[in-house]
Structure 1
């Protein structure tokens, strides 16, 4: 999937690092991160504190407090993870229009999600909660592609892996703090899910305020945007982008959502319910530690290779979940703890190796004036795959149990990784994937 970011017609954006001055050490320029990337990272950090507070307690709230079945949770989880796919491409297209309105569209998306936090205080039934979650994911769908386009346009092509790694690391710092804050709130008010939702609402509002005040809206426009309105149809003419999107969708079909993975981890290893909100911390801590190093490594060894290696780590996590602890009580406790730590470690490696790498790959396969739409198309394919996966896991779990569901997903991911290796193999007679695809005709 590696599509290098060399650009034949690109010019540095306003926030890109300046050229080396005579006598200036190369290390200073190489390690510089654009202010726009840091500002967007701050917004994502704050927003993730808010969203992960809710995500950390939502599965337990739905299954234990509201008595939702695994199938019902699969439907809600599918809505939560898949609704963003409906508007992600639209967000990218809107951001690309008129030379780039990425900040405006991103602000709309962040604001819409922020309004959903207090709405959780007013709903009590699964259908209404599902509606709120859908609106929240619509907001995420609108903001993701414009935000990533701003990161891409603010960064020189050869350093995009690092830039996305830094942003994802800051984003993950929020994902690390969110569940911890939710745990502390529940510790002070056992069963106080509404207290979690209230604190989350205030944090989300702060994130929108930081976006409006600190993220520049100018200086991020493409170097040469065409007069014609951007259309999604033209994106499919790029062979590399088609392969990237197909690969993201295929692997998404076998990627169990975080909520389901944590439920599987808690149930199969019989972990205490009180510790459930802390499970995302393991993933987030590994992600935070490895996001930047993996971004730098992806720039060196190839983002396609890093992306596939990340899914191999996820496959190993599935395998560990399928293995049961020993029968002796003391041995079981030790084995369960070790297995839980290993699964969370591999889950964090998966995200650190794939999230930023996929965005950098997509950014390098489209012209500058189509950054938002190109990133959105790949993200939409991945989201649709994960949307279908959540329904499938919920149905399999309800019908045959969690072991059958996990076994099917393990086999599906094995097949998908093998297919992705074949799909992304360079085609004889075509240009090397180390060069960007030609402009649209």
Structure 2
């Protein structure tokens, strides 16, 4: 009871100045994340233990899962700026992700079909992310951006928390009828889309339709501070191990039963839920970039735990909790760092450029980690990434 009520009470106090559009977008993300996490929570277990996929194949699938959002973030951001209708572009992305859920029952055990559906789902995420974050950035006052993104990410994380639970209950009740999970997932995604269409308002300051090219978004990179931010985000992204490997390593190296693997994301989501708003407010107060880099220090601690060889529930919960704090200190905080640097007329494109660079870097990181883990094992692979992460944090601190 404490976990589910206290963050919401805190949110009620801290969202008093957050615009209703941000809250509505948070509800959209809540339902969308229930839908998404219902599917993704059991995929690592299904792929590794059900289909016998190795680390290399898991890295390739996970890289595809991450990389499918990359270039389409640019497309979504550019379309939002060019049309002056970020809400419409975001709605298309949410709709695309929703309809893919109905394709999984047809895919069966085909890795190619599963990979293609995951790519389409992430394509929808890529298209909607830039316009959605631009709406938040244009709707909230500059001095409250960290809090606004924190509130949105908190509601998003409530969905991430509920998704695995709903999937676990459905599988238990229906005797592992996975088709029911996909159909219910589609229904949750459609609820999110309806909320977007009905309750999310186009920001008052949204620039009118304007003929701009993708080059104008990329041209923002001539700005020294923004260029440094993008380079640092990419470098840190290259040192970020994907969630699929974090969960697999946490389960294997702590000796927890593989049957509990679909529920492990709950520990990450609970921590993120409790910390998103307080960390966003802290970032507004003490400096967003400082908090962003501290978050990567927490990720380094996760790597240390997973390569230490220590086992048991305390180590597992500590590692997953620190991973949730990493997300709270980096996800929305990075967008809050970039928002004030970007002109209103190309804000969606600018955020999309930053997100694209980070997503491409994490795609490469997922594939390389899969290669490393298949050759030398999980422990040495985490050790190598820990070294790269230390270098990336030091370089990023000196650059900015």
Q: Provide the TM-score with structure 1 as the length reference.
A: 0.84
| One of 57, 71, 94 as aligned partner of 2:79 | 94
| One of 135, 139, 142 as aligned partner of 1:157 | 142
Q: What residue in structure 1 maps to residue 9 of structure 2?
A: none
Q: What residue in structure 2 maps to residue 106 of structure 1?
A: 90
Q: What residue in structure 2 maps to residue 172 of structure 1?
A: 157
| One of 121, 126, 131 as aligned partner of 2:105 | 121
Q: What residue in structure 2 maps to residue 388 of structure 1?
A: 364
CA contact (8 A) 1:363 1:371 kept: yes
- Specify the SS of the correspondent of 1:324: coil
| One of 48, 60, 68 as aligned partner of 2:53 | 68
Q: What residue in structure 2 maps to residue 368 of structure 1?
A: 344
Distance 1:226 1:205, change over 3 A: closer
1:281-296 correspondence runs (5 A): 281-296=266-281
Q: What residue in structure 2 maps to residue 435 of structure 1?
A: none
| CA–CA distance in structure 2, aligned partners of residues 171 and 359 of structure 1 | 15
Q: What residue in structure 1 maps to residue 29 of structure 2?
A: 44
Q: What residue in structure 2 maps to residue 241 of structure 1?
A: 226
Distance 1:305 1:277, change over 3 A: same
CA contact (8 A) 1:34 1:155 kept: yes
- Specify the SS of the correspondent of 1:219: coil
CA contact (8 A) 2:69 2:359 kept: yes
CA contact (8 A) 1:150 1:220 kept: no
1:148 maps to 2:133 = yes
Distance 1:336 1:235, change over 3 A: same
| CA–CA distance in structure 1, aligned partners of residues 14 and 45 of structure 2 | 47
Q: What residue in structure 1 maps to residue 7 of structure 2?
A: none
CA contact (8 A) 2:82 2:210 kept: no
Q: Provide the TM-score with structure 2 as the length reference.
A: 0.93
CA RMSD of aligned residues (A): 1.7
Distance 1:188 1:225, change over 3 A: closer
TM-aligned CA deviation for residue 191 of structure 1: 3.7
| One of 322, 327, 340 as aligned partner of 1:346 | 322
Distance 1:233 1:361, change over 3 A: same
CA contact (8 A) 2:135 2:203 kept: no
| CA–CA distance in structure 2, aligned partners of residues 271 and 279 of structure 1 | 10
TM-aligned CA deviation for residue 384 of structure 1: 0.6
Q: What residue in structure 2 maps to residue 403 of structure 1?
A: 379
1:135 maps to 2:111 = no
| One of 50, 54, 57 as aligned partner of 2:39 | 54
TM-aligned CA deviation for residue 422 of structure 1: 1.5
Structure 1 residues without counterparts, runs of 5 or longer? 1-27, 326-334, 425-441
Q: What residue in structure 2 maps to residue 213 of structure 1?
A: 198
| One of 243, 252, 256 as aligned partner of 2:237 | 252
Q: What residue in structure 1 maps to residue 10 of structure 2?
A: none
> Deviation digits for residues 149-170 of structure 1, max 9, x if unmatched?
0001001111100100000000
TM-aligned CA deviation for residue 84 of structure 1: 0.2
| CA–CA distance in structure 2, aligned partners of residues 276 and 114 of structure 1 | 25
> Deviation digits for residues 314-368 of structure 1, max 9, x if unmatched?
101110111113xxxxxxxxx5111001101100110111111101011111111
| CA–CA distance in structure 2, aligned partners of residues 39 and 277 of structure 1 | 28
| CA–CA distance in structure 1, aligned partners of residues 14 and 106 of structure 2 | 50
Bigger fraction of residues in helix: 2
TM-aligned CA deviation for residue 195 of structure 1: 2.7
| One of 184, 189, 213 as aligned partner of 1:199 | 184
1:184 maps to 2:169 = yes
Q: What residue in structure 2 maps to residue 429 of structure 1?
A: none
> Deviation digits for residues 240-261 of structure 1, max 9, x if unmatched?
1111111111011111111110
TM-aligned CA deviation for residue 226 of structure 1: 6.8
Q: Which has the larger radius of gyration?
A: 1
Structure 2 residues without counterparts, runs of 5 or longer? 1-12
